[in-house]
Structure 1
Amino acid sequence: MKQTPTRGGDQPLILSDKQGFDRRWFAPNLKAVYVPSRYEQVEEYVASALSEFGHDVKIASGRHCYENFVYNDSTRAIIDMSAINQAGFDAERNAYFVDAGCENWSAYRVLLNRYGKTLPAGSCYSVGAGGHISGGGYGLLSRLHGLTVDHLSAVDIVTWDAALGQAKLRHVSEHSSSQEERDLFWALRGAGCGNFGVIVRYYFAKLPDAPDYATQWSFAWDWDKIDQMTFDRLLDLYAEICAGMPNTDFSLLKLNHVSNGQIGLLVQFAALPGVSFQQHCQQVDARVRALEKRFAAIAPAAALQRPMGGHPGWMHTTHSHLNPQHLTYLEALQTVNGSGPNQFGKYKSAYMNKAFPSCQKHQIYTWLHHQPEGMDKDALKQSLLQVDSYGGVINEYSSAATPVPQRSSIMKLQYQTYWNNDSLPGQRHGGSSREQAQAHLDWINGFYLSVYADYGGTPNPQNDKDGVVDGCYYNYPDCDLGTHENGKIDQAMELYFQENYRRAPRNLVQVKQQWDPQNYFRHAQSIPVK
């Protein structure tokens, strides 16, 4: 009898195999981890895993999923793509490539240092390409160059024919000979996360030239100088800036809980090709002075007291003064190249087409000052609402070009809360650990429900007559929106994909029916077959 591959083919499982990046997620019943290290092994391992463990097989690349889609009680086998982790140029395909197991930092370094190219992808260094790109891909250059999937030209993926018991490696693109493969390629550009097969490699026929320079400017406002009126004016100004900033610019507004002491802001200004360092500095300094003047009219700026937390853009270091830092592009990548420590976390998302309505500003301010009864006064110091600038080139694509329909938004929001304790792996859901987790979950869920109360408790554009909100981001999964188990999966999928879910002529449910009709590739928020 053929021996089931474990780690690397013959090594026994270790505790780390069962643990996700988020310490909340653990797979206690894991029996095998398949770790292909060569292309030709992927088909073999997919066939072996699905034949032996059926529907209880999951796929991992960087382990960063915000929910327990991979690491949960039902998982018995994992196909771990971390050993297929190269980036470069494929001469045969005449395209740049990034393997599914390649992490953000490795992809950036190779594409920049060898080819002078870059991806408009995320800033968290250890996030794996497998999930990040197939969910849309978004980062500090997306306003300038669009989403990562907007540059995707082809995908290598292993699909599973359950009737024949056969795994097959396919190269799919807009130029595939069959309509079914062209539809699959479309679906992989925003909804590929564990839904249709095992992605092996991404191809990009063209990539943007990397900037030579990028300037980063970070500062803060002290909470003790911000009342509700000042807060409202700050959010109004930030939305106005997001709607009108040059495409080269990107910003992260970190609305930390009041216990943190400060609100943080990071702005990055990327240089255009052909602009000298001196010219770039002059242009950026002028923009910074203009922004300083506008912000100063609302509240005085302060130096950051501590690193800014949160995803994306966890910053381990802070600038000690309020002046912009003119950097090479590689230095700029390194500055925001953080995934943060392994902690327990919960996340929620929202897109916004317009500035914050008064009711939302009031609720955000209220919940950032809310101190739950019985919770330590410093427990929410890392908790925040992060507001990223969006738009730019992203808005130049139609809502049907990829499964990602949010092509009119100017801001993208991520609600985040973090906590930690000394509980052992696999024993983190009982006693005081459970109470601690529940307190954080109650805070973030109450926060979210209150902000979107006028739309039914979520940023549902179908309930928004004013066109302010625009749904949620699939790469920031949130099981509270709905799952297969609680019967509300349609509700969640509509928030993520809107018409592209099942109402459009080309839709994700139809692609799922074609490529995985027996639903082998599934999780709590996977695309349903029916």
Structure 2
Amino acid sequence: MTGISRRGLLSGAAVAAGVATVQAAAPAAASAATDPAQRCGPVTDAVTVYPGDPRYQELTVGYNQRWVGTPDYVRLVSSTAQVVRAVQEAVDSGRRISVVSGGHCLAPFVFNSDVKVVIDLSGLNDVYFDPERRAFAVEGGARLSMVYETLYKKWGVTIPGGMCPTVGIGGHTTGGGYGFLSREFGAVIDHLEAVEMVVVDRSGRAKAVVASRDPADPNHDLWWASAGGGGGNFGIVTRFWFRTAGATGSQPGRQLVNPPKDVLFSAVGIPWSALDRTAFTTLVTNWGTWYEQHAAPDSPARVLSGVASLAHRSSQYVFLLTQVDATVPGAQQILDQYLAAITAGVGVDAAVASQPAQRLPWLHAVRLIAASIPSFINPTLRGSSKSAYMRRGYTPAQAGAMYDALTRTDFANPAGAVTLAGFSGGVINAVAPERTALVHRRASFWTLFETQWQDPAADAANIGWLRDLYGSVWEATGGYPVPGDQADGCYVNNPDPDITDPAFNRSGVPWYTLYYKENYPRLQRIKAAYDPRNVFRHAQSITLP
């Protein structure tokens, strides 16, 4: 099996994807934050790893092997009180802090030479039901695979998150969080009831506060900012509570969405030999047209989400990966009509017909995707990526620019890809852009442009190829997807170091507008309220007003 690119993009013959007391804003929040009986897992002593320790090398590099840190030490924690203490010690000693949840930050925000203390949340990873809030508590170091397995096996519920099993809940949620169920059930943050966050006040005192969805909560603004404002901006989230808005009663199985019992799972490989420039352009424009036409919250097709992995020609195939809620009436017809519309005029009807969909239990499909994407668990990869939210599909000229890059003969990396991800639209678009920090509520789909490799000597070739590809696609708007009639900016969970460089971002639109649009000023005000000393910062963090 050939590799599959970073965030679920198929290629090759793939699927057939201190202070020891926690302080909170209200008595109920304080009880939930300090009651050890709520937590299922053990609280062990914090561990400090210094450069001489054999574990140091493993703990100072994330998923992207390009970014390696040199902190004075790494602090591994398993309780909120330990995080408070670790932050206080760092603040008192004047050391710069970063935090690791799953370690999938694609930019050098966590591991860089300025960071002197890395706080690793991997021991803070419990998932349990909190009867006091009638919500599911997920600690900040939990990874998606554990979250899905625990929520579904114990209570039959889930959150509509992404495909990569090793992504941490912390960064995934705070950036919005999308996956195959999002068009049907919304983004992950649309089910966010509350957060517990360690912050530092103006006097330099670290403390834990709880912020909830309730507009009457004095910390409601912090909840708003945590619902799409990105990680590393305000503090360290030690716990999320998830509960679907409007859920009633007290039974755990009714407090979050129930995933489909079964899904129709389709993986169609189209050989590059069947795609000339015209056919490829038709495929890309068909894709955009379908998602644009089915982006409304009440669209019957919101039960379908798909990915088109357009990997470099050296991979031999492009793939259409699609999932449909098999429990809805006419599910097979929805899938058939979708595939027919996407491939109309491409001349690959026989290839589509020869690869029928499977009916699978939902959790089987989740596991199958994860198991079929080796790059999700490959610890040797270096990478570079860029993103674009789309309100309307790509023009033939833009699709042609993709074709030119993906068929270059002087670059032959099968992991170089453009991935069209149908994880936007649908129920996500039922929420007003100002209701949460996640502002991209009018998109039809989004796109990931990326490449991965192993040899450091190949850095320049891969980074250069991706810059050429992305810059060509967005040539008309200065190299970036400026929000407007067609594009809608960039996804903060795919941070791009080039976005702040005028040599590449010639659009005149600043990075914070591409990520946050009109929500940025409010995020700045919240930053000033909860992190007035700018303790939690990185190269693209929200700035103080």
1:99 correspondence with 2:117: no
Pairing of 1:319-468 with structure 2 (within 5 A):
322-337=355-370, 338=373, 339-342=376-379, 343-372=381-410, 375=411, 378=412, 380-389=413-422, 390-421=424-455, 433=457, 436-461=458-483, 464=484, 467-468=485-486
Shift of 1:7: 7.0
Q: Which residue among 250, 261, 271 is the counterpart of 1:222?
A: 271
Q: Which residue among 244, 261, 264 is the counterpart of 2:319?
A: 264
Paired residue type of 2:315: N
1:285 correspondence with 2:303: no
Distance 1:490 1:357 in 2: 21
Q: Which residue among 514, 518, 525 is the counterpart of 1:510?
A: 525
1:210 correspondence with 2:259: yes
Runs (4+) of structure 1 exceeding 6 A deviation are 486-490
Paired residue type of 2:116: R
Q: Which residue of 2 aligns with 1:166?
A: 205
| Partners of 1:220 and 1:302 within 8 A in 2 | no
Pairing of 1:78-93 with structure 2 (within 5 A):
78-93=118-133
Distance 1:453 1:34 in 2: 44
Shift of 1:16: 0.5
Q: Over residues 221-259 of structure 1, what are the superposed CA-to-partner deviations in whole Å (9 max), with x where a residue is unaligned? A: 111221121112212222232234511111000111111
Shift of 1:284: 3.3
Change (3 A) 1:483 1:46: farther
- Normalising by structure 1, we get a TM-score of 0.84
Which piece of structure 1 moves more, 110-119 or 286-295? 286-295
Q: Which residue of 1 aligns with 2:513?
A: 494
Q: Which residue among 519, 524, 527 is the counterpart of 2:534?
A: 519
Change (3 A) 1:69 1:301: farther
Change (3 A) 1:88 1:254: same
Shift of 1:174: 3.2
Change (3 A) 1:77 1:123: same
Q: Which residue of 1 aligns with 2:83?
A: 42
Shift of 1:483: 7.0
Change (3 A) 1:6 1:302: farther
Paired residue type of 2:536: F
| Partners of 1:6 and 1:32 within 8 A in 2 | no
Paired residue type of 2:417: L
Shift of 1:490: 7.5
| Partners of 2:49 and 2:75 within 8 A in 1 | no
Which piece of structure 1 moves more, 400-409 or 332-341? 332-341
Change (3 A) 1:356 1:36: same
| Partners of 1:157 and 1:170 within 8 A in 2 | yes
Distance 1:336 1:188 in 2: 28
| Partners of 1:100 and 1:202 within 8 A in 2 | yes
| Partners of 1:35 and 1:82 within 8 A in 2 | yes
Distance 1:303 1:44 in 2: 59
Which piece of structure 1 moves more, 234-243 or 188-197? 234-243
Please list every run of 5 or more consecutive structure 1 residues that lacks an aligned counterpart in the other structure: 305-319, 422-427
| Partners of 2:166 and 2:377 within 8 A in 1 | no
Paired-residue identity, %: 30
Paired residue type of 2:260: P
Distance 2:259 2:286 in 1: 30
Q: Over residues 304-346 of structure 1, what are the superposed CA-to-partner deviations in whole Å (9 max), with x where a residue is unaligned? A: 9xxxxxxxxxxxxxxx961111100110110112524130000
Shift of 1:40: 2.5
- Normalising by structure 2, we get a TM-score of 0.82
1:300 correspondence with 2:342: no
Shift of 1:132: 0.7
Q: Over residues 183-206 of structure 1, what are the superposed CA-to-partner deviations in whole Å (9 max), with x where a residue is unaligned? A: 111111111401101101111233
Q: Which residue of 1 aligns with 2:491?
A: 473
RMSD, aligned α-carbons: 2.6
Change (3 A) 1:344 1:10: closer
Distance 1:411 1:119 in 2: 19
Shift of 1:368: 1.3
| Partners of 1:482 and 1:490 within 8 A in 2 | no
Query: Larger RCO: Structure 1 or Structure 2 (Cα < 8 Å, ≥ 6 residues apart)?
Result: 2
Please list every run of 5 or more consecutive structure 2 residues that lacks an aligned counterpart in the other structure: 1-17, 19-43, 245-255, 295-300
Paired residue type of 1:48: E
Count of residue correspondences: 475
Distance 2:237 2:469 in 1: 36
Distance 2:61 2:144 in 1: 20
> 2:461 is paired with a residue of what secondary structure?
helix
Q: Which residue of 1 aligns with 2:27?
A: none
| Partners of 1:483 and 1:524 within 8 A in 2 | no
Q: Over residues 398-445 of structure 1, what are the superposed CA-to-partner deviations in whole Å (9 max), with x where a residue is unaligned? A: 111111211111110000101112xxxxxx5xxxx2xx2011111101
Distance 1:340 1:347 in 2: 17
Distance 1:323 1:177 in 2: 51
Shift of 1:8: 1.5
Distance 1:330 1:341 in 2: 22
Distance 1:161 1:523 in 2: 18
